[in-house]
A and B are shown apart, each in its own frame.
Chain A
Amino acid sequence: MATTACFIIVSRNDIPIYEAEVGSAAKLHQFILHAALDIVQDIAWTTSAMFLKAIDRFNDLVVSVYVTAGHTRLMLLHDSRNDDGIKSFFQEVHELYIKVLLNPLYLPGSRIASSHFDTKVRALARKYL
Chain B
Amino acid sequence: MIGVGKIKQYSNVLDKPLSKGKQEVSLSAFAFLFSELVQYNQTQVDNIAELERRLEDAGYAVGARVLELLCHRDKGNRRETRLLGILSFVHSTVWKVLFGKVADSLEKGTEHEDEYMISEKELLVNRFISIPKDMGTFNCGAFVAGIVRGVLDSAGFPAVVTAHFVPMEGQQRPRTTILIKFAEEFRLPSYEDSVHMTTLHRRNALGDIFEANNCSYQSTTKRSKVRLIYVPGLITCNVYDAQQEHDECVNALQQHGEGW
Stretch at the interface among B62-70, B101-109, B129-137: B62-70
Asked if A42 contacts B221 (CB within 8 A), the reply is no
Asked if B221 contacts A68 (CB within 8 A), the reply is no
Q: Mark B176-201, 1 if CB is under 8 A from A, else 0.
A: 00000000000000001001100110
Shortest Cβ distance from residue B136 to the other chain A in the assembled complex, whole angstroms: 31
Chain B neighbourhood of A31, CB < 8 A? 228, 230, 234, 236
Asked if B240 contacts A14 (CB within 8 A), the reply is yes
Asked if A50 contacts B77 (CB within 8 A), the reply is yes
Asked if B79 contacts A67 (CB within 8 A), the reply is yes
- Provide the bound-state CA to CA distance between A48 and B213, in Å: 39
For A98, give its contact among B72, B78, B80, B206 (CB under 8 Å): B72
In the complex, what residue of chain A is closest to B69 when comparing beta carbons? A98
* Interface positions of A from 39 to 78, Cβ below 8 Å from B: 39, 41-51, 55-58, 67-72
Asked if A41 contacts B195 (CB within 8 A), the reply is yes
Tell whether A38 is near chain B: CB-to-CB under 8 Å: yes
For B236, give its contact among A30, A46, A55, A102 (CB under 8 Å): A30
- Provide the bound-state CA to CA distance between A95 and B16, in Å: 11
For B223, give its contact among A16, A39, A98, A102 (CB under 8 Å): A39
Asked if A56 contacts B224 (CB within 8 A), the reply is yes
* Interface positions of B from 40 to 71, Cβ below 8 Å from A: 61, 64-65, 67-71
Shortest Cβ distance from residue A10 to the other chain B in the assembled complex, whole angstroms: 7
Tell whether A20 is near chain B: CB-to-CB under 8 Å: no
Tell whether B96 is near chain A: CB-to-CB under 8 Å: no
- Provide the bound-state CA to CA distance between A94 and B202, in Å: 27
Asked if B235 contacts A70 (CB within 8 A), the reply is no
Asked if A50 contacts B224 (CB within 8 A), the reply is no
Q: Interface residues of A, CB < 8 Å — how many?
A: 53
Chain A neighbourhood of B124, CB < 8 A? none
Shortest Cβ distance from residue B215 to the other chain A in the assembled complex, whole angstroms: 14
For B202, give its contact among A37, A47, A55, A67 (CB under 8 Å): A37
Chain A neighbourhood of B221, CB < 8 A? 39, 55-57
Q: Mark B211-247, 1 if CB is under 8 A from A, else 0.
A: 0000000001101101010100011101010000100
Chain A neighbourhood of B70, CB < 8 A? 69
Tell whether B12 is near chain A: CB-to-CB under 8 Å: yes
Asked if B236 contacts A38 (CB within 8 A), the reply is no
Give residues in B with beta carbon < 8 Å to A: 12-14, 16, 18, 61, 64-65, 67-72, 77-81, 85, 154-156, 192, 195-196, 199-200, 202-203, 206, 220-221, 223-224, 226, 228, 230, 234-236, 238, 240, 245
Provide a sorted-by-A list of 29 A–B residue pairs whose CB atoms are within 8 angstroms: A10-B240, A12-B154, A31-B228, A38-B199, A39-B224, A43-B223, A44-B79, A45-B156, A46-B81, A48-B79, A48-B81, A49-B78, A50-B78, A56-B224, A68-B71, A68-B72, A69-B68, A69-B70, A69-B80, A71-B154, A71-B155, A95-B72, A98-B18, A98-B72, A101-B65, A108-B64, A114-B14, A117-B14, A120-B14
Q: A48-B81, A57-B220 are in contact. List 17 more A-B contacts (CB 8 A).
A: A30-B236, A30-B238, A37-B240, A42-B223, A45-B81, A48-B80, A58-B228, A69-B72, A69-B154, A70-B155, A71-B155, A91-B77, A95-B72, A98-B69, A99-B18, A100-B14, A103-B13
